[in-house]
Structure 1
């Protein structure tokens, strides 16, 4: 697996998985879809959907711990500061050998450039919120969110999925 290939694929996902509008009802329907998929696969996930910092959907499934909501918070901070998925930020940092730390003006306790948080991008508006999960390995967290967004938006999820790690 080549990091630069991942980064290009992640950019494509961010370009394709956009909304024409996003409402409280969209958050509920998307969250319910995500919860149903996670329960069916017995995934221990916290699922969080918010717009402008306002929580619109939240669930903590069996197997999650009190640590998962903090990971959610830290991933959201990355997306809202850098306007890209938390996994893409992590891959870009890995490619450059950089880190998110005080040298960039952030505290690592408040930022987690790990997979699982994806921007809610509304066409003609920009990034308005986040869809986040925490509970499984980061690439799988990211893949779960992308697959659910693709299903909700009627996009071929397999065509934009990242390859599995080798």
Structure 2
């Protein structure tokens, strides 16, 4: 699969994985599902789910560190600023930091997979689900899988192919 195909699929994820509502209960359900998967599969993950003004869910499993939380913060900032999945930024621009002329300070922004916009019907993008601990494409996949499960959608339709 080409990068262009991956970008098109991530755009499909962004527009197709839309919540009817988003509140503390929904954040807890999605976050708890990600944490349960991490524990069942022995994954070291930090999970953060938030609206732009407050954190609604946070979890860190064994093997994570403060670095993972810092990566989450930077991914969230990138999702908020660019209004797209942080992995789409990677596909479009390459992994790493934004060029200096973007004004996106590397201390606060990063191009790395795992941040995904929370889109609500009738409201648009209101926050982000963000994961750190695996390679970026896999972090992204964990979030997409959890959103598909929550929405009752077939993960195969939205999953990026294995590399």
> Where do 5+ consecutive residues of structure 1 fail to align?
none
Give the 3-state SS of the residue equivalent to 2:77 in structure 1. helix
Q: Distance in 1 between matches of 2:67 and 2:116?
A: 19
TM-score, normalised with respect to structure 1:
0.94
Cα RMSD over matched residues?
Answer: 1.5
1:42-100 deviation line (CA, Å, top 9, x unaligned): 10000100012301100110010110000000000110000000000111113xx9961
Partner of 2:127: 129
Query: CA shift at 1:136, angstroms?
Result: 0.7
Segments of 4+ in structure 1 off by > 4 A?
none
Partner of 1:60: 60
Q: Size of the alignment, in residue pairs?
A: 163
Would the aligned equivalents of 2:46 and 2:60 in 1 still touch at CA under 8 Å? yes
Give the 3-state SS of the residue equivalent to 1:92 in structure 2. helix
Partner of 1:6: 6
TM-score, normalised with respect to structure 2:
0.96
Q: Distance in 2 between matches of 1:143 and 1:53?
A: 25
Q: Distance in 1 between matches of 2:64 and 2:119?
A: 28
Query: CA shift at 1:101, angstroms?
Result: 2.6
> Where do 5+ consecutive residues of structure 2 fail to align?
none
